[in-house]
Chains A and B, each alone.
Chain A
Amino acid sequence: MRLEPIANPSLARQLGYPAAALGLTVVVASLLALIAGANPFATLGLILKGAAGSKFALLETLNRATPLIFTGLAVAVAFRAKLWNIGAEAQLYGGAIITVVVGTSVLATLPTVPHLFVMALCAAVVGALILLGPVILKTRFGVDEVVTTLLFNFIMLLFVSYLLEGPMKDPMGMGWPKSEALAKDARLPRIVDGLRLHWGFALAILSAIAVWLIQTRTTLGYEIRAVGQNIRAARFAGIPVNAVLVKTALLSGGLAALAGFSEVAGLKGHLSLDLSPGFGYTGIIVAMLALLHPLGVVVSAVFVAGVFVGSDSMSRAADVPTYIADMLMAIALLFMVLAILLTKVRVVRG
């Protein structure tokens, strides 16, 4: 069997295969539910209900989607330039640390809006700087950024652990490893009173639109795409390849760090080691499912968040383990990657 590229894939092909991938995901999920001893239709129904069955469920899904939009954008921006940033988790925690530092500092005397602005800005800058190291190692010495950014995640988690046991430990925290809480005025307000959805979600949507504008309307976006598609031709044409990679890294790291800012300032109010259940890694899935399109990231982040939130709720009702959510994500990603490939090539016998 061989793969032959298709010159001009039809629209039916471009939409049909991803749709089939989602369909197959549902089929496999049903099988998993069967294996777990539950009725597959009831299980899927419960997931759907838990994710979007009520105003509360829907807003909770959007709430969970917020950090995923940020990390998904971070990955999508970097992958466009073929800069493999696997370190969104580290950048997220970097942003979270600085958010707490600024949010509990003397700046707390500022009015809420400028204070939040400073917090977000500092977070983005720190996140950008975290990715700067790996990208300079890459452009200067050819060090593989997959390795450096991935390992940075572990360094950062251990560093956060140190901070929470040491300098940033909340003296009033009853011994729990968590930081001091942000001042009330240093929190992102909620969009709907009484529900947890906060303005971080709006910031995420705005970020997606901004990234989309950068990619399609600016010279930087054009440069990023050129470097990602064919670095040799880009260099020959005079595009400053290394500068473009550095700018891409700053953008990507900054976006990932905003996830940390938004989670701390919008939801948790303090820094702890369970701030992110792998949002940085899930961001890769989100970005891939969205085919790296910034607006698609919003859709796929909501989908992924919905599966997680829905599975949590289903698990309580149907006694099926929540692991089904992780498996669903993995299956969806595998099918989607295959579907994306099949929109571009056809399989030929012989």
Chain B
Amino acid sequence: MSDTKTGARDVVLRLDRITKRFGALVANDAISLTLHRGEVVALLGENGAGKTTLMNILFGHYVADEGRVEVFGAPLPPGHPRAALEAGVGMVHQHFTLADNLTVTENILLGTAPLWRIGLGLGAAKERIAQLSKDFGLAVHPDAKVGRLTVGERQRVEILKALYRDARILILDEPTAVLTPQETDALFDTLRKAVGMGLSIVFISHKLHEVMAISDRCVVLRHGRMVGEVDTHETDRHRLAELMVGAEITPPDVSPATPGPALLRLADVSTPNEGAAPGLQSVTLDLRAGQITGLAGVSGNGQAALSDLISGLRLPESGQLLLDGDAQHKWSPRRAVHSGIARIPEDRHHTGTIADFTLTENAILETYMDAPVSRGGWMNWSAAEGLTQEVIKTYDVRCPGPDTRIRLLSGGNMQKLILGRVLERAPKVILANQPVRGLDIGAITYVHNRLLAARDAGAAVLLISEDLDEIIQLSDVIHVLSEGRLSPEFPRGSKTPAELGLWMAGQGFEGGAHAA
């Protein structure tokens, strides 16, 4: 362990001038990365910068056009996913790869031992798992069914799985995206223990304060190129952000809100549980004109039910949804649209747009029944195209033209088209569900400014996000959703991130462990 601090540190992983092209796009352009024993390297970059491609090459899912990969001094044969695993590289994916109906132990053993031997080795395996979880501070019960575990616990199982297979190098892909601030701290403790025992870690992220907190060195990618490699203690968040984006960043200027009356109200609304996802439990929520209401919380705590409800996809099991004080009994997506609700869905690729439709066809998805786009059942395509041109211009959608299929657009431009589609109608209520997930910083700023402008024009905005920083930055009032329960309303600045984190973990609710 002491050799990690000396000059002659062991190189455990070397990616040497990796280049990967997809047609005309260069996803990785001669990227080199070296990882030493007992070191945490952060791989930093915006979406589409090439981080995932690089890791897919390491794991043999893609074959690099140029360059080579060495693990512990030996070259990895390209295109063999097992080779990296066998060489001692473990990956914890952003989306977990666990079987819900198996126990923790079974999940960890799955794929390591021949199936017919699972029964025989179970006792020894459990002991080893217990030892590993003690050594690394990964508290999880080996006999628990994975389906019943929280997201944080599932992540621990993924890490245990890698450790059980004697991984000496851990790759973590956006590991904190699904965690509360407290769970993130616990994860960092584990990672520090692992490094102390001589493991090496690649930490993929775009959250700068976490990178600053955990890494020894940062490698920054932008548009497939390596644009910087710095020792973490010699840099700061602003320098890293500039490297990542290639320009200085100005956060949106959030002026104080002037809230008006509640335009949409959920009154004591409950929805049934759906599998592991909890339904809403007696939720009362007011969305006021001229105000951004932020909804913080880890995904899977009832956000889907709440957004489906406001989108018109479902009705409450009990309780009422009121618009301008009128209870809605026949509620549908079309009614929601016609009642002046703008809906920005969580999944812009599969719910918000139809990939093989053109921009025009996507722009009119919600209004194709209304004049001038159609009259008496007949489409007026030139009118539809005119409206789309208007949206493209007003919302700065970068595209070859309205006839382009939307699948060819970047996520940011796709989102701008959706924004244009719903905001052009001057909505009263805006449901923005994860509106900037996966966007680059330029697009994020654009979306945030548009939401703020809509707020100032008198719209009631509900911002649902997993990113607590985003919620705190934009929201005039904040609620936390945990296990389907809604916290009281917290005005801007009245709670620290750590305090909100406790609410996200379920503390503070009636019957919870403490009052906040």
Residues of A at the B interface (CB closer than 8 Å) are 4, 7-8, 217-223, 225-226, 229-230, 232-240, 350
With both beta carbons as reference points, the residue of chain A lying nearest to B407 in the complex is identified as: A7
In contact, A8 and B408 (Cβ under 8 angstroms): yes
List, in ascending order, chain B residues with CB within 8 A of A235's CB: 313, 333
- Determine how close the nearest CB of chain A comes to the CB of B464; give it in whole angstroms: 15
In contact, A7 and B313 (Cβ under 8 angstroms): no
A-B contacts, 10 listed (Cβ < 8 Å) = A7-B23, A217-B378, A219-B369, A219-B378, A232-B351, A234-B365, A235-B313, A236-B311, A238-B366, A240-B334
Does B361 count as interface, using CB distance less than 8 angstroms? Answer: yes
In contact, B332 and A226 (Cβ under 8 angstroms): no
Name A236's contact: one of B22, B351, B408 (CB within 8 Å).
B351
In contact, A220 and B377 (Cβ under 8 angstroms): yes
In contact, A233 and B352 (Cβ under 8 angstroms): yes
In contact, A218 and B365 (Cβ under 8 angstroms): no
Residues of B at the A interface (CB closer than 8 Å) are 22-23, 62-63, 78-79, 311-313, 332-334, 336-337, 343, 345, 350-357, 361, 365-366, 368-369, 374, 377-379, 407-408
Interface of chain A: mostly helix, strand, loop or mixed: helix
- Determine how close the nearest CB of chain A comes to the CB of B404; give it in whole angstroms: 9
List, in ascending order, chain A residues with CB within 8 A of B23's CB: 7
With both beta carbons as reference points, the residue of chain A lying nearest to B312 in the complex is identified as: A238
Docked Cα-Cα span, A320 to B191, in Å, equals: 75
- Determine how close the nearest CB of chain B comes to the CB of A52; give it in whole angstroms: 36
In contact, B361 and A350 (Cβ under 8 angstroms): no
With both beta carbons as reference points, the residue of chain B lying nearest to A350 in the complex is identified as: B63
Interface of chain B: mostly helix, strand, loop or mixed: loop
In contact, B379 and A233 (Cβ under 8 angstroms): no
Apart from the given pairs A218-B377, A219-B374, 6 other A-B contacts in the complex at a CB distance below 8 Å: A7-B23, A225-B361, A229-B354, A232-B350, A233-B365, A234-B365
In contact, B366 and A237 (Cβ under 8 angstroms): yes
List, in ascending order, chain B residues with CB within 8 A of A8's CB: 408
List, in ascending order, chain A residues with CB within 8 A of B366's CB: 237-238
List, in ascending order, chain A residues with CB within 8 A of B345's CB: 236
Docked Cα-Cα span, A18 to B122, in Å, equals: 56
Name A238's contact: one of B22, B78, B337 (CB within 8 Å).
B337
With both beta carbons as reference points, the residue of chain A lying nearest to B333 in the complex is identified as: A238
In contact, A222 and B22 (Cβ under 8 angstroms): no
Docked Cα-Cα span, A221 to B23, in Å, equals: 35
List, in ascending order, chain B residues with CB within 8 A of A221's CB: 379
List, in ascending order, chain B residues with CB within 8 A of A223's CB: 368
Contacts A217-B379, A219-B377, A233-B365: A238 and B334 contacting too (C-beta < 8 A)? Answer: yes
- Determine how close the nearest CB of chain B comes to the CB of A227; give it in whole angstroms: 10
In contact, B354 and A233 (Cβ under 8 angstroms): yes
List, in ascending order, chain A residues with CB within 8 A of B379's CB: 217-219, 221-222
- Determine how close the nearest CB of chain B comes to the CB of A41; give it in whole angstroms: 42
With both beta carbons as reference points, the residue of chain B lying nearest to A4 in the complex is identified as: B22
With both beta carbons as reference points, the residue of chain A lying nearest to B347 in the complex is identified as: A232
In contact, B377 and A237 (Cβ under 8 angstroms): no
List, in ascending order, chain B residues with CB within 8 A of A219's CB: 368-369, 374, 377-379
**5 nearest A-B residue pairs (beta carbon):** A238-B334, A238-B333, A237-B365, A350-B63, A230-B354
- Determine how close the nearest CB of chain A comes to the CB of B314; give it in whole angstroms: 11
List, in ascending order, chain A residues with CB within 8 A of B365's CB: 226, 233-234, 237, 239
List, in ascending order, chain B residues with CB within 8 A of A4's CB: 22
In contact, A236 and B355 (Cβ under 8 angstroms): no
In contact, B332 and A233 (Cβ under 8 angstroms): no
List, in ascending order, chain B residues with CB within 8 A of A226's CB: 354, 357, 361, 365
In contact, A230 and B355 (Cβ under 8 angstroms): yes
List, in ascending order, chain A residues with CB within 8 A of B374's CB: 219
Contacts A222-B379, A226-B365, A350-B79: A236 and B332 contacting too (C-beta < 8 A)? Answer: no
Docked Cα-Cα span, A235 to B313, in Å, equals: 8
Which residue of A4, A220, A350 has the most chain B CB atoms within 10 A of its CB atom?
A: A350
Docked Cα-Cα span, A192 to B455, in Å, equals: 71
Docked Cα-Cα span, A4 to B343, in Å, equals: 33
List, in ascending order, chain A residues with CB within 8 A of B343's CB: 236
List, in ascending order, chain B residues with CB within 8 A of A218's CB: 377-379
List, in ascending order, chain B residues with CB within 8 A of A238's CB: 312, 332-334, 336-337, 366
In contact, A233 and B377 (Cβ under 8 angstroms): no
Docked Cα-Cα span, A230 to B368, in Å, equals: 16
Docked Cα-Cα span, A233 to B334, in Å, equals: 13
Name A7's contact: one of B332, B354, B408 (CB within 8 Å).
B408
